[in-house]
Amino acid sequence: MALTADRFEQIKRFEKDLSQCMKCGFCTFWCPVYQEERIEASVARGKNMMIRGLLAGELDYTQEYADRLNKCTLCMTCTANCPAKANIPNVIVAARADAVKARGLNFPYNIVYRWLLPRRRLFGWVVRFASWFQGVFMPKTEGTIRHLSMFLSALGKGRNIPQIAPRFLRQMVPVVNVPPASVKTRMRVGYFSGCMTDFVLPHLGKHIIDFLTRNGVEVVVPREQGCCGAPVFLGAGDFEAGRKMADANVKAFEGLDYVISDCATCTSALKDYAKFLADTPQRKKAYEKFAKKVKDISEFLIDVLDLPASAYKPSAVAKGKKVSWHDPCHLSRHLGITSQPRQVIKSISGVEYVEMPNADRCCGMAGAFSMHYYDLSKEIGDKKAASIKSTGADIVVSSCPGCEIQLIDSLLRNKVPVKVMHIMELLE
């Protein structure tokens, strides 16, 4: 069944981006998906023509069409290198939203996105059950990394994934974390923990909270916060469920100076509420006000906190090591944050920084993209692993837990002995 004209509400909001494409095909050189598939429908120009065909009534929203629309990492490499700066990723997200509004979400995503993710406590119980399943059926490979057994290939096709933490972050830290009595409190911020840090990497969240409090920042970890909504409204196009998540997060962080995030995807999604989800003037105003307070952790350290050099002491695992940096797409191209993380690394005494070739190349994670198209995701990840290997680094760091999972998987598969860490784990 073809979509009717009145169901293109979201696409029409981004018609300027749609019409800006000059069909020059320059994006074919840069698109990580096209570079592996060499299929026109994989690249921004091809998707632009597909969406135009949908608007003209020449195409139906078939499963094949949906598959082509979803086969995009939203890395924005096309926009960054487009002569006309056509933001086709905006249009792709909008097209996903119109399709969901017209046809609904398939099972089990309708249950997961609309019923499970918005209920943080229930979601935590499900994750806890999954941790038992993981411990029984998924043997360890290196450290806390577990390898999906071949009989579970339908879930991850052999992906190396982190172990779910025995205790979640919200079980490890209080709601309000104050600086030591000997340190003057400079400001009061909220910490957006995100799903990965809360359930898989709570040690990272605890590390960040301790670092900030030692440097005069009171850190509030609201229990009312939930998923940022990126997999829901950006990945799946479910704007209705996304608004409920956005409203809950905005309310949870009211009255705080800043909202600090350690995940590039979460940071970008939190700032994108106004662009995609604002359906009333009131929501638009609230979302825009909220977005101004949201800061990536490295951006916060450099641009806001402005710490002295003495604050950047290396952690035991980083001291004397050679370190390289991977630019998450959501941090570099979506938010334009590139110099701050490098400045943090270069400020750490006893750490040697080495720039990676093509540091901003997409690693191939992109959330659900890497689950649905894991073989394609691996091919993209292999190029990133080669770049990391060429640096001779001991450690590669990023500020996106999703990217970290992909980097760990790619490096293990390619037998590249480089440790993957979050940038904040470099600091004492």
How do residues 90-129 score in pLDDT, each as one tens digit?
Answer: 999 999 999 888 887 777 677 777 777 777 777 777 777 6
Distance CA 104, CA 110 (A): 8
pLDDT score recorded for residue 147: 46
Tell me: do 219 and 366 sit in the same domain: no
Last residue of a domain, one of 277, 307, 337: 307
Q: Which token pair is 297?
A: 């952790």
Distance CA 411, CA 416 (A): 5
Distance CA 116, CA 166 (A): 21
* Domains: count for the chain: 3
pLDDT score recorded for residue 14: 93
Residue 125 neighbours by CB under 8 Å, 6+ apart? none
pLDDT score recorded for residue 96: 92
Radius of gyration of the chain (CA): 21
Whole-prediction pTM: 0.91
Tell me: do 297 and 389 sit in the same domain: no
Element holding 218 (H helix, E strand): strand 217-220
Angle at the Cα of 210 (from 266 to 125), degrees rounded to 5? Answer: 55
Residue 89 CB burial class (10 angstroms; 0-12, 13-18, ≥19): buried
Tell me: do 277 and 222 sit in the same domain: yes
Q: Which token pair is 13?
A: 């909001």
Last residue of a domain, one of 254, 282, 307: 307
pLDDT score recorded for residue 342: 98
Tell me: do 228 and 216 sit in the same domain: yes
Tell me: do 263 and 374 sit in the same domain: no
Distance CA 207, CA 188 (A): 17
Residues across the chain: 428
List, in sequence order, every beta strand (DSSP E) within 75-193: 145-147, 160-162, 176-177, 187-192
CB of 304 closer than 8 Å to CB of 188? no
Angle at the Cα of 11 (from 327 to 194), degrees rounded to 5? Answer: 40
Q: Which residues of the chain have pLDDT under 50?
A: 1-5, 136-137, 147-155
pLDDT score recorded for residue 151: 37
| 44, 96, 136, 216, 236 from 67: Cα distances, Å | 14, 11, 33, 49, 12
Tell me: do 299 and 159 sit in the same domain: yes
Last residue of a domain, one of 41, 72, 102: 102
Neighbouring C-alpha atoms within 13 Å toward the C-beta of 292: 8
Tell me: do 91 and 114 sit in the same domain: no
Give the CATH number for residue 51: 1.10.1060.10
How do residues 323-355 score in pLDDT, each as one tens digit?
Answer: 999 999 999 999 999 999 999 999 999 999 999
Tell me: do 368 and 297 sit in the same domain: no
Tell me: do 155 and 269 sit in the same domain: yes
How do residues 12-22 score in pLDDT, each as one tens digit?
Answer: 999 999 999 99
Domain with 220, as residue range(s), is 105-307
Give the closest residue to 163 by CA, choosing from 184, 186, 141: 141
Q: Which token pair is 183?
A: 């340190």
Give the CATH number for residue 411: 3.40.50
Count of Cβ atoms closer than 10 Å to residue 171 Cβ: 11
Tell me: do 370 and 231 sit in the same domain: no
Q: Which token pair is 145?
A: 């990394």
Tell me: do 31 and 86 sit in the same domain: yes
Tell me: do 147 and 165 sit in the same domain: yes
pLDDT score recorded for residue 155: 46
End-to-end CA gap in the chain:
58
